[in-house]
Each structure stands twice: as C-alpha cells, then as structure tokens.
Copies of this chain bind each other. A is one copy, B any other.
Amino acid sequence: MKDNVLNLTVVLADGTIIKTKRRPRKSSAGYNLTGMFIGSEGTLGIVTEITLKLQVIPQETSVAVVTFPTIRDAASAASRVIKAGVPIGAMEIMDEVQMSVVNKSKSTKKVWREVPTMFFKFSGTKSGVRENIDLVKKLSKQCKSIDFEFTADPEEQKKLWSARKESLWSMLSLRKGDEEVWSTDVAVPVSRLADIIEVSKREMDELGLFASVLGHVGDGNFHEAIMMVDRALEMEGTCTGEHGIGLGKKKSLVKELGLDTIGVMQKVKLALDPNWLMNPGKVFDHPAETNPKGT
C-alpha cells in the first residue's frame, strides 16, 4: 500500500496542517515526510487526506491453486517463483490445518484437499499471464506439486480464491465458548521462509496448540495463530510485516531494533509532538518511561 501513496495532508499536534509533498510520481524535494507519517500509527499527527496512484486495470487476470505434500515443498516453490522473477499479483500459502478448517466451516462452495496449498493471482496481457502460469507450474512440479488448477473465468476465479478469502472467518467460526484466536504477523527474508514455517509448526505441536499457517509469501510475511516473534528475529526478520506495533508488540520492537534506533523515533515524535498527545502509548513509550535516567 505505502508505495501507492503520493502525498498526505496531516494535522499536527499544534494544529498546523501540512501537505507532505505535491503530486508527481517521483520527487527528491526534502525529507520523505510521506514515508515518515505512513505506518506511524497516529503518533505523529492525524491524516485527513491521501492522494493515491492510479493503477491500470489489467487485460487478463487468472487464479491458480497448487497442492503440495509438505509445507516445506510449498515454501520452496514460493521461493523458486520469487527467485525466477515471475511477476505475481499475489502468492499465498495455507497449511493442511488451515485447509481443513475451511472445509469444516463449510464457508466455500468447494471441498478442498487437506494438504499444504499455494494460491496465486496473475495479471497482465493474455499471453503474458499464460506464460507465467506455465512457469509457475514447472517450478511447482520441481517441488513435488500434486494438483495444479487454474482459471481465467471471473466466477471460477472467485471460487478458487474463496478458501483464501474465507480463511480468517472460517477459523473464527470454529471457536467454542470463550476460545480466543491469536493472529501473528511476522516477516523474514524470503530465503528463510520454509525454515520459519517448519520450526514454528513444530513448536506449536509441541505446545499442544491448535495452529494454522497462512502467509503472503511473496513478501516473506506469514500469519500464525500464536507469537513467533523470537524465531523471526533470529532469522533477521521483523515482528510485524503489515499490522504494525500498536500496544501488543512494543516489547518485540525493542528486541527487533534496539533502544538506539527507537531513540531516533522517540526524538522525531518529541520534535513534532512535544506534549506526547498523538495516540500516546502506542508503538513505543515516552523516553522517560523507556529509560528512567532520561538519557
């Protein structure tokens, strides 16, 4: 998303209204304030206007669903697709637990194989899409893929994508009583994706937790039903690929970036919001609380 934002209008803590940038696609005019406010979770100011880039509607779109014997095979296929530079609109991984949850919840019109499954979206020209599908099929085969289904028909695309779309709701619909679902959001370098999924699945099993894996693997980002932050950090990853820090991951952010880097963020916030008014307590604490000596 952030790459599609051209500029922002922001109301600052002292009431000043600024526009971060004008409207050209490329600019080197001063500090990148647009990037600074995006993802600051309301702690630097309140965004009241956003200018977005327009995107061209592709000539052709297509969805493919590919099944694999193990989650490692599926993650390896994802890694190969990325390394081959195949242009992909979306690439998502779901493990056998998540697929069975979708079946149990009866939230889609299709009955799914309960095995690790990858979902791909393609877009572009007719022959470009066709060529990329063939390439992904070949690379999947090299990783022992079982089935390879694809379609360019709009209704069939919806049906094939439905397991991905309904995954969260199907998980929530299976809760009993006051059971809670915890969703995580770590990201690691793409080369470590298979490792972290395998390790975290094993640890979940050992803890006796019911856990499923769902990942936006094109970015090395995946969600799982419990905190896997330490594993991700060991692999040079991040505690949050897209959901942000909020209250829940403040300690993880310290672990990930260290107090010096967070010190720079605190200084930036203090410069723009000296009275710590904007969404206080989120992302990181006031320096006086982080470091009682106040250095």
- Chain A residues near B (Cβ < 8 Å): 2-3, 12, 16-33, 35-36, 38-40, 44, 55-58, 83-85, 87, 124-125, 127-128, 131-132, 135, 185, 187-190, 216, 219-221, 233, 236-245, 253, 256-258, 260-265, 267-268, 270-272, 283-284
Contact (Cβ within 8 A) A267 B272: yes
Cα-based distance from A243 to B44 in the complex (angstroms): 28
Whether A39 contacts B33 by the Cβ 8 Å rule is: no
Q: Given A25-B187, A239-B29, A257-B30, do A18 and B128 touch, yes or no (CB 8 Å)? A: no
Chain B residues with Cβ below 8 Å from A239 are 29
Min CB–CB distance A254 → chain B (angstroms): 10
**A257 and B24 contacting across the interface, CB-CB below 8 Å:** no
A/B interface sample: 12 pairs, CB < 8 A:
A23-B189, A25-B187, A29-B245, A30-B283, A32-B39, A35-B35, A36-B268, A56-B83, A87-B124, A128-B131, A268-B271, A268-B272
Q: Which of A29, A125, A253, A262 has the most CB of B within 10 A?
A: A29
